[in-house]
């Protein structure tokens, strides 16, 4: 198991536990990073390199990196992009916008999006 995979699994586990504990903002953030780590791992497996010598992708570049570098069907690529965009928006709301109401439904949806991304990468990425 790669470090990225381990990070993804750890974040997903945390997201689920935090959701169960009612810590919705942290659950959403962990859901995003579970998906981010899974995507970063898939990109690392393809030896994708990044600007400025970074070892991981910039958040705003994920959608293009997914479409241009991963051997996914067009439909799957778009599904992953749609889910990661939702997750990023909700993570930014949870982490940086205390005035935004974060609901249990939003946190449940974030965990679902994360699980979906990880599953799609596992099925199509192999």
Fold of 3-125: 1.20.120
Residue 65 near residue 43, CB atoms below 8 Å = yes
Q: Tens place of pLDDT for every residue, the chain, 126 residues?
A: 789 999 999 999 999 999 999 999 999 999 999 999 999 999 999 999 888 888 899 999 999 999 999 999 999 999 999 999 999 999 999 999 999 999 999 999 999 999 999 999 987 654
Residue 1 near residue 81, CB atoms below 8 Å = no
Which sequence spans correspond to the domains of the chain? 3-125
């Amino acid at each position: 198991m790669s470090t990225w995979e381990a990070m993804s699994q750890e974040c997903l586990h945390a997201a689920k536990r935090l959701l169960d504990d009612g810590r919705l903002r942290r659950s959403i953030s962990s859901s995003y990073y579970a998906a981010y780590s899974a995507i970063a791992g898939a990109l690392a497996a393809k030896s994708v390199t990044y600007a400025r010598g970074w070892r991981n992708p910039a958040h705003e570049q994920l959608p293009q990196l997914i479409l241009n570098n991963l051997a996914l069907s067009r439909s799957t690529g778009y599904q992953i992009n749609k889910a990661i965009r939702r997750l990023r928006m909700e993570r930014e709301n949870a982490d940086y916008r205390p005035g935004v109401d974060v609901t249990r439904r939003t946190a449940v949806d974030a965990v679902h999006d994360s699980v979906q991304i990880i599953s799609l990468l596992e099925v199509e990425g192999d």
